Structure 1
Amino acid sequence: MTRAGGILFGGHGHTFRFAGHAGHAGPPPRPGTLPPPPPDRLPDGFAVELAATTHRSRDGHLMLGGSPPRLLRLGAAAVGLLEDGGFVVTDDASAALARRLLDAGLVHPRPPLSPVHDTTVAIPIRDRADQLDALLTALRADPSTSTLPVLVVDDGSQDPDALARVARRHGARLLAHPRNLGPAAARNTALCEAETAYVAFCDSDVIPEPGWLAALLAHFGDPAVALAAPRIVALPPAAPRALDRYEQVRSPLDMGSREGPVVPVSMLSYVPSATIVVRRSAVGAGFAPGMRVGEDVDLCMRLHESGWRLRYVPSARVAHRHRTDLRGWLAQRAGYGTGAADLALRHPGRVPPLYAAPWSLAACALLLRGRPAPTATALALTALTAVKVARRMPDADHPVRAGTLLSLAALRGTAEQLLRCATRHHWPIAVAAAAVSRRARYALATAAVAEGLADHYRSRTSLGPLTHTAIRRLDDLAYGWGVWQGALRRRTAAPLLPRLALPARGSAAKRPWEPRPLTPTSHQPATATVETW
């Protein structure tokens, strides 16, 4: 072995022991601004297809969809390209249209699959030698990943020899931290050592399904894509209990079955780092090493702010061993909540507990009064918004109907967010109010039960409605407690403050990859934007 910069290097299958990171006596400095994507346009042959949730007028000139929802008005050439529900990039004009539609979430990329190549698999781990063995066995059994280089980063294990034996048996290189530095630092260590164009990060408690990596790498045919993520699903237990069945439908790692771009303050605002693939040249120094929680959300936001695109690809699936012992499960949920304060300080306004238009908040507040005059005023506000939206789309098939439906959806979305705030982020305030007010007690109890039953219906879980509702309330209580812990520790109210959805101004209005919505649904803003292409 040779020594360089306080790091021990060894050959294939041997241990690399890090005093910190290359060239440093300890953890690397906090990552700063990431490099922007190259100016390259989408390549010829790149195909896109209309999203199933995109609505078009009969003549094809008006399109509504995406998250947040926005309205695009298309010219004759664009309508012709989309006549069959998608098109292939052939020139600068079609490349520009495809880019705008992709950023809006109105179309999805349909890249061709190619052989897996130029990729390193990186596995941060602390102990869990049995889980590492299962993961490496799955990687070596999949023909597409069987020969890929694998870096295992031992982040201060109590039994490092056990990990070394497993890594050696599967032909993986082992890098070791002498003390625990956290998953972000461990991933960064692998990132420093990787020599390939792409790095696939896999946590030790996942088992990828065959073909997962090819589906993700295909999206890097877009030169502006920095990160692609699969769907994280539950690894079926032998004898599922109540928490197992809840996690199968409400795991915070499972972003659902709907593909799309990853955009802050939208329905798909981040992807978890349990398994992600990154373009090495895009992520700079990598994750923020000082963050033990929320480092994946932070990376997504920094990439987005630098102009990179991020894709969620649920057709690629990775199974995860969910934590389902009650004490550990509650601690995990609370731990997730503690990260909200750091994220809110690093990215102001990007992780609000509530994001809604002023008119919809006012309407909900009036409806909560439960009296004829406030209710009439709320309906008048909604009707006025419907008229404004309808005027923005006079060429729609049914402008008044469209404006009415969108405004009602906005009102419902804001009401759902208020319910979630009362039972999740702001439950200590709600409980304090309930302690002194009979009306607040009734409202809180109604919200807790109604939201749980509605979520039970949406999730289609095998759990009974009352059991699902009870576990969901425990989920929210633990997460909210973590949010308050983090806020008190950082001495900030930032993760608890709502954000009003106002029209984008200045430089933010000029960023084509920013959310520029028409009207809000749950967790979506309410400024109106009509674009012409």
Structure 2
Amino acid sequence: MTLGAVVIGRNEGERLKACLTSLVPLCRRVVYVDSGSSDDSTTFARDLGITVVELDPAAPFSAAKARNAGFQALLAGGPIDLVQFVDGDCVVMAEWLKAGAAALAENPQLGLVTGWRSERYPQASVYNAMCEVEWHRPAGEISTCGGDMMVRTQAFTAIGGFNPAVIAAEDDEFCLRLGKAGWRLQRLPVSMTLHDAAMSRFGQWWKRSVRNGHGFAQLGDMHPPHLQRERLRVWLYGPILPLVFLLGYFTTPWLSLLALSAYALSFTKTARDLNRKGLGRSLAIKQAAFLTLSKLPNLLGMLTYYRRSWAGRDMRIIEYK
């Protein structure tokens, strides 16, 4: 089966160069879609002989829009059976492309396969280390996955590709529609990509958490009850418990104690679970603290989505790097 690749990026610099270099020798055709980069991304890609698509900066960017544009450019070069989608901050493993293509060739019911993503520099910061934990998911049948995926062209076309209005968790939304259309999705026990989160500052982590909250709310509107548990946790630990604490502070002190106890219980359980998964005690405690705090930026992201939706405004991307 013929395999092509679509890479999306914006100011990824050396990360993009590593990504494209890992794909060119292994795919029949590669398309790079750029979302308004100010670095030399497009020049480097063209020098490799890669087809480059530059999105119109007059319209809001989104990963979904970029992937759709890349898919169309790929097909314009001739028929293709399978498409590997990958973010420009990832290096693709050669063994993955062979394994993914083989799985799709063997099982015509599979519309999508993904593999294991790992963080390239997990020791660089606690934020990178949190991504490494986030990427660890069991192999087998799945309902959703991240943006690194190999998709059957027939399946992609059948559901109309990605929804360009979704600016966070657009990959989840795509997968949900794929499953509803009758296609199977599978995560293979094969290393797929090395991701470089490049997060070294608290502000980056905060913005990424805001983006996650936006995704919780938007997908909740589009595909209820998907991510319902995540939204409920945000409402509980975001506005409700702080309000209970303040109410208790001015009226009944035990209410404040109850709110603090809920945070302490959540933190302790999260730290214990991370420790059981193999994280050292110190790192588990740090990550548990950030995960407990994340409900606040998640709440801001959810409220941002609701405000945009009610006002009929465009859903614009939330960048963290």
Please give the TM-score of this superposition, normalised by the length of structure 1: 0.51
Q: Do the aligned partners of 2:9 and 2:89 also contact (CA within 8 Å) in 1?
A: no
How far did residue 231 of structure 1 move?
A: 1.4
User: Residue 132 of structure 2 corresponds to which residue in structure 1?
Assistant: 248
User: Residue 145 of structure 2 corresponds to which residue in structure 1?
Assistant: 271
How far did residue 455 of structure 1 move?
A: 2.6
Alignment-mate amino acid for residue 279 of structure 2: T
Q: Do the aligned partners of 1:155 and 1:177 also contact (CA within 8 Å) in 2?
A: yes
SS of alignment partner, residue 213 of structure 2: helix
* Runs of 4+ residues over 6 Å off in structure 1: none
From the two aligned structures, give the one with the greater helix fraction.
2
Alignment-mate amino acid for residue 146 of structure 2: P
How far did residue 421 of structure 1 move?
A: 4.8
- Structure 2 distance, partners of 1:133, 1:447, is 44
- Give 1:198-213 correspondences, 5 Å limit: 198-213=82-97
User: Residue 280 of structure 1 corresponds to which residue in structure 2?
Assistant: 153
Q: Structure 1 pair 231/286, CA: closer, same or farther in 2 (3 Å)?
A: same
Q: Deviations over 1:173-215 (max 9, x none)?
A: 1122232532111110111122301111111000122311111
Q: Do the aligned partners of 2:263 and 2:292 also contact (CA within 8 Å) in 1?
A: no
Alignment-mate amino acid for residue 18 of structure 2: A
SS of alignment partner, residue 111 of structure 2: strand
User: Residue 180 of structure 2 corresponds to which residue in structure 1?
Assistant: 305
Structure 2 counterpart of 1:134, from 14, 18, 29: 18
Q: Deviations over 1:409-439 (max 9, x none)?
A: xxxxxxxxxxx955x4421112212332145
How far did residue 442 of structure 1 move?
A: 4.5
User: Residue 149 of structure 1 corresponds to which residue in structure 2?
Assistant: 29
How far did residue 241 of structure 1 move?
A: 2.9
Q: Do the aligned partners of 1:233 and 1:248 also contact (CA within 8 Å) in 2?
A: yes
- Structure 2 distance, partners of 1:248, 1:488, is 32
Q: Structure 1 pair 198/276, CA: closer, same or farther in 2 (3 Å)?
A: same
- Structure 2 distance, partners of 1:294, 1:207, is 21
What is the percentage of aligned positions where both structures have the same residue? 23
User: Residue 240 of structure 2 corresponds to which residue in structure 1?
Assistant: 429
Q: Deviations over 1:208-249 (max 9, x none)?
A: 223111111222121111111121110126x62333333322
User: Residue 231 of structure 1 corresponds to which residue in structure 2?
Assistant: 116
- Structure 1 distance, partners of 2:235, 2:102, is 38
- Give 1:53-202 correspondences, 5 Å limit: 117-140=1-24, 145=26, 147-159=27-39, 162-179=40-57, 181-194=61-74, 195-202=79-86
- Structure 1 distance, partners of 2:256, 2:35, is 52
- Structure 2 distance, partners of 1:335, 1:291, is 11
SS of alignment partner, residue 289 of structure 1: coil
1:333 aligns with 2:209: yes
Q: Do the aligned partners of 2:23 and 2:30 also contact (CA within 8 Å) in 1?
A: no
- Structure 1 distance, partners of 2:265, 2:209, is 21
1:467 aligns with 2:277: no
> Aligned residue pairs: how many?
292
Alignment-mate amino acid for residue 171 of structure 2: D
User: Structure 2 stretches of 5 or more lacking a match?
Assistant: 249-254, 312-321
Structure 1 counterpart of 2:141, from 228, 248, 261: 261
Q: Do the aligned partners of 2:15 and 2:196 also contact (CA within 8 Å) in 1?
A: no
How far did residue 294 of structure 1 move?
A: 1.7
User: Structure 1 stretches of 5 or more lacking a match?
Assistant: 1-116, 264-269, 355-419, 493-533
SS of alignment partner, residue 146 of structure 2: coil
- Structure 2 distance, partners of 1:138, 1:298, is 27
- Structure 2 distance, partners of 1:120, 1:151, is 8
Alignment-mate amino acid for residue 187 of structure 1: R
The structure that has the greater radius of gyration is 1
Please give the TM-score of this superposition, normalised by the length of structure 2: 0.82
